[in-house]
Structure formats: structure tokens, C-alpha cells
Amino acid sequence: MTIKAGDTFPESHFTTPTETGPEPVDSASFFKGRKVALFSVPGAFTPTCSAKHLPSYVDNADALKAKGIDAVACTAVNDAFVMGAWSKANAADGKVTMLADGNGAFAKAVGLEMDGSKFGLGTRGQRFSMIVNDGVVEQLNVEGPGEYKVSSAEYMLGQL
């Protein structure tokens, strides 16, 4: 079953890259008491994700925060090392928290996994964005296959 607006964010475990190495992050602690703009990409260093999706949130992090967002986070079915390198390559450090979903457990828990086998990617998370307010999904924007419209930071700014 796919998550929807009004649902409680599922208990999930991510890994975030830090200067001292990967650190575990549990969703209950991360989302508690704050409003988070979360977006998911099929993969770090992939074309649309690197050219458009991540840059839209890096460029608009301050504007999102000015509209009440406390934190901006990105998730992908990649390990924390790849997510950390991607963050550095895109000047996202300090603007976007990387939440690695290395085994795809989160993507599966929210019913938004996709089969990228045709491209050698295996099971990944779909491209989407959501606003999570104190652990409850307020907005959910899921892209159609191959699209990049409703999950951008610009679209989210229009929803706030």
C-alpha cells in the first residue's frame, strides 16, 4: 500500500554520511517536532537527479526554510558513502541532509519502490517529494515514470 497524505511516517532506519563516517538515523527522532521537506531520487549521480532534482533543493533550501520548513532531506537507495560523495559534489552539505536507504527498506515501506533492472539499477525508490510535519505526511508528490515535475523544490514552494 502506498503512503498518502495524512498517514504517519513509517518507522524507518536510514544512514547519513558524516565527517566521522556513516551514522544511523531513525525516522521517529529525525521527523519528531519539525517540518521536513523530504525528496527521493532513483539514484545519486544519475542524470536527472544530479542535473535537476538535488540542485533544485540546494538552490531553494533557504526559501523553503523561510516558508516554515525546518530541514530538507534527500533519500535514495544508495549507501551513505555514495550519498556523502554526491552531497559534496553538489555543494549540498549544510543544506540537504542525505538519508541513505541502502537496502531499499524505506522505499518498500512507503510503497514507492521501482524496478530499475532495465538500466542495471535493481530495485530503487521512485522520484517523489513529501512534506512531513511532526511525523505525519502533509503533502505527497509522486512523479510518473520518467517525469520530473511535481517533486521539485519549486513545486513544493508553491504548496507552502
Contact 37, 153 (CB under 8 A): yes
Q: Which residues are catalytic?
A: 49
* Rounded Cα distance, 49 and 51, in Å: 6
In a 10 Å sphere around its CB, with 0-12 CB exposed, 13-18 middle and 19+ buried, how is residue 148 labelled? middle
pTM listed for this prediction: 0.94
Q: Give the β-pairing of 23-26 and 136-142.
A: unpaired
Set out the domains of the chain in order of their start, with CATH numbers.
Answer: 13-159 (3.40.30.10)
Mean pLDDT score of the chain, rounded to an integer? 94
Q: Which three cell numbers stand for residue 115?
A: 524496478
What are the 10-residue block averages of pLDDT along the chain, 160 residues in total?
Answer: 92 95 96 97 89 95 98 97 96 96 95 84 89 97 93 96
